[in-house]
Amino acid sequence: MVFEQPMALSTGKLPPSLLKRLLRHSGAKDPRVLLGPSIGEDAAVVKLGNQMLVLKTDPVTYASDMIGWYAVNVNANDIVTRGAKPAWFQAVILLPPGSDEKLAESIFKQISSAAKSLGVAVTGGHTEVTPGIDRPIVVGDMHGVLEGRRLVKTSGARVGDALVMTKGAGIEGTAAIAREKRAELLKVFDASFVNRAAKYLFDPGLSVVTEAVTALEFHVSSMHDPTEGGVAMGVQEIAQASGRSIELRIDDVIVLEETERLCARYQLNPLGLLGSGALLATFKPDDASGYLRQLRRKGVEAAIVGRVIPGKNKSRAVTKDGSTPLSFSERDEILKVFS
């Protein structure tokens, strides 16, 4: 009898085929759970009386500088893509051996500042010094309320919908690289460039609250916050969750100058770089055009970058030279820099 050896897992998200199998282990049945564990869906939804509670947990593992700010914003993004308002935040903060009080306090202050900027209350959590890690890790847990608003799912994309992307690819990854590799980058780029890239954390920023709230005015069918694996992975997750495919027009994808130059320096694909800060959303074509006009009035850059097409597992990338199957990876491009 031959026994197969379990396959070692690579760094990054679990492969969708494995994750789909694992998500069958979902505990007790509860009719109040309207949306539970599912590939591509940003947050869970639970019905409590006349209200719907939206729940999300997400870690920050690549960045150490301003890690508390990242944790609040990436979790809040997944609440607003449901059409809900972020309300309460908790965090598990794991500190490496040798950490001092100053580091712990700085993370608490970052969490508080980010939460206050979004009108979110910090309701608790857990902090410890943990053996076996060499950098801080923050696992955030955000809850929000969907009250008098329409629930939006990643899985809502319809054939014929236009795909809109806001702000730019790789915003989170650009900020993380500039902040974590500052000394190295200053040997290649001038300080003003590195400073601009580092400020991507705040401008254009990680939050997609403005874009998501505005999308609700234009009958948005699906919203998704691309994180690990970047825009390309985010597009694939919308397609998989919706049981459709997506035609992504590569030449229309927004890539800002600092992102483009940093990716060239490290030979990264910006479409596969940590993507918080961008919103992917689908609309009927006329609604998409109206949405873009409204975002421009609010000073938010956005573009129609593709369309939803029939069939499963047929997503493709289109350029002026033709089309190819859409390339994506669970392993984020930033690991080429931080590994």
The pLDDT of residue 1 is above 60: no
302 and 175 both lie in a single domain: yes
280, 140: one domain: no
Q: Identify whether residues 106 and 159 lie together within a single domain.
A: no
pLDDT tens-digit map of 155-171: 999 999 999 999 999 99
The verdict on 315 and 223 lying in the same domain is yes
Specify if 24 maps to a domain.
Answer: no
In this structure, are 37 and 126 located in the same domain?
yes
pLDDT, residue 269, reads 97
Mapping DSSP onto H, E and C, the string for the chain reads CCCCCCCCCCCCCCCHHHHHHHCCCCCCCCCCEEECCCCCCCCEEEEECCEEEEEEEEEECCCCCCHHHHHHHHHHHHHHCCCCEEEEEEEEEEECCCCCHHHHHHHHHHHHHHHHHCCCEEEEEEEEECCCCCCCEEEEEEEEEECCCCCCCHHHCCCCCEEEEECCCCHHHHHHHHHHCHHHHCCCCCHHHHHHHHHHHCCCCCCCHHHHHHHHHHCCCEEECCCCCHHHHHHHHHHHHHCCEEEEEHHHCCCCHHHHHHHHHHCCCHHHCCCECECEEEECHHHHHHHHHHHHHCCCCEEEEEEEECCCCCCEEEECCEEEECCCCCCCCCHHHHC
State the average pLDDT over residues 55-76: 92
pLDDT at 3 over 70: no
What is the per-residue pLDDT for 4? 59
State whether 252 and 168 are in the same domain.
Answer: yes
The pLDDT confidence band at residue 38, using thresholds 50, 70 and 90, is confident
pLDDT digits (tens, 9 = 90+) for 283-310: 999 999 999 999 999 999 999 999 999 9
The predicted model gives 121-126 an average pLDDT of 97
User: Which pTM does this prediction carry?
Assistant: 0.91
CB 295 within 8 A of CB 214: yes
Compute the average pLDDT of residues 12-24. 86
Amino acid 39: pLDDT:
82
- CATH code, domain with 129: 3.30.1330.10
Q: Does residue 136 belong to any structural domain of this protein?
A: yes
CATH (domain of 181): 3.90.650.10
State residue 41's pLDDT score: 86
* Average pLDDT taken over every residue of the chain: 94
Domain assignment of residue 220, given as a range: 154-338
288 domain-assigned: yes
In a domain, 11, yes or no: no
- For residues 238 and 155, what is the distance between their CA atoms, to the nearest angstrom? 6
Least confident range of 35-44, 78-87, 184-193, 255-264? 35-44
Of the candidates 146, 173, 188, which is a domain's last residue? 146
Please give the share of the chain, as a percent, with pLDDT higher than 70.
98
Together in a domain, 122 and 160: no
Q: Over the stretch 308-338, which tens digit does the pLDDT of each residue have?
A: 999 999 999 999 999 999 999 888 999 999 8
**281 against 12, higher pLDDT:** 281
Flag whether 19 is in a domain: no
Look at the chain and report how many structural domains it folds into. Answer: 2
How does 3-22 read in b/e, with b if 16+ C-beta sit within 10 Å? Answer: eeeeeeeeebbeeeeeeeee
Residue 136 has pLDDT above 90, yes or no: yes
**Domain termination site, one of 104, 125, 146:** 146
Residue 5: predicted pLDDT: 65
- On the question of pLDDT at 149 being above 80, the answer is no
pLDDT of residue 86 exceeding 60:
yes
Q: Are residues 178 and 95 in the same domain?
A: no
